[in-house]
Amino acid sequence: MNTIPALDYGGEGPELLFLHANGYPPDCYRPLLARLAGDFHVTAMLQRPLWEESKPEDLRDWRPLTDDLLRFLDEQQLERPIVIGHSMGGIALLRAAIREPERFKAIVLLDPVLFMPNFICVWWLMYHSGLGYRIHPLVKAARYRRQVFDNLDKLFNGYRRKSIFRYFNDGALRAYVEGIACPDGNSYRLCYSAEWEMRIYVTGVWRDLELWRGLRNLSVPTLILRGAETDTFLAGTAQKVQKVNPAIKIIALEKSTHLLPLERPAEVHYEIKRFIEETL
């Protein structure tokens, strides 16, 4: 078994590990990671959709993503790092902190893919009925997304007009475009395959009742940052999390969505730094 790959973003200070979202390689987050490197030594682990020769069909749920994180800590001999996870990365991290809390100094979840228990039960039925690929709202977009580009400036200009990127400044959007595209001869190809992106969407959520059971006793200092306009970590979910475990700190950032670490890197950095300084 090969060593799990990672990117080193430099910096000095306490060890900080970053886990990316589905479809968003670490370089998409450069504006945030560069700021964090002013306070920490920042490493970003590549999750298995970005590994060479990894097979989407081997994934049945997201538990292996947590296994990967814990293995990475062992491989890198990271002792109680601060860990940040966005979206899918936040769920891999949350499950790890519930399972082995002694491995972490503090965790930060950026708009994690955590839904209310009733929704989880519905998705359990959809997954086991084999309907996941047909009804998941993001699968169609991933399946038909253009994969090859000959010019990143054209890609940037096209994305600049899309409403999903309305809160990205030009620097953040440029980092995103350069982060998703890998050189492929004289052109560029999306680093993150459509097959993996769809597989992550379909296999998530259905096992997450165990997260709600574990949240009550989560002892690791935890901050959750959510976008005020997110469609993922909803306000009702935030209220239930705080009812289950009042020690968890939750902050909503204005004019941000599920993509808040890319939209508001300065504010996200500020809240993380403040949380770490006040907590540790």
Calculate what percentage of the chain has a pLDDT beyond 90.
99
User: What is the predicted pLDDT for the residue at 55?
Assistant: 97
Question: What integer is the mean pLDDT of 73-96?
Answer: 98
For the packed helices 170-180 and 152-160, what is the interaxial angle rounded to 10 degrees? 130
The tokens describing 45, both together, are 């682990």
Question: What integer is the mean pLDDT of 262-271?
Answer: 98
User: What is the predicted pLDDT for the residue at 126?
Assistant: 94
Nearby residues of 96 by Cβ (< 8 Å), 6 or more positions away: 66, 69, 70, 103, 104
In the chain, the domains with their CATH numbers are: 6-279 (3.40.50.1820)
User: What is the predicted pLDDT for the residue at 191?
Assistant: 96
* Torsion angles phi and psi, residue 252, rounded to 5: -105, 130
Q: For the segment 5-24, what is each residue's pLDDT rounded down to a tens digit? A: 999 999 999 999 999 999 99
Q: For the segment 127-182, what is each residue's pLDDT rounded down to a tens digit? A: 999 999 999 999 999 999 999 999 999 999 999 999 999 999 999 999 999 999 99
Question: What integer is the mean pLDDT of 91-102?
Answer: 98
Residue 1's pLDDT band (cuts 50, 70, 90): confident
Residue 207's pLDDT band (cuts 50, 70, 90): very high
User: What is the predicted pLDDT for the residue at 112?
Assistant: 98
User: What is the predicted pLDDT for the residue at 226?
Assistant: 98
What's the mean per-residue pLDDT of the chain?
97
* Torsion angles phi and psi, residue 86, rounded to 5: -105, 130
Type of residue at 129? S
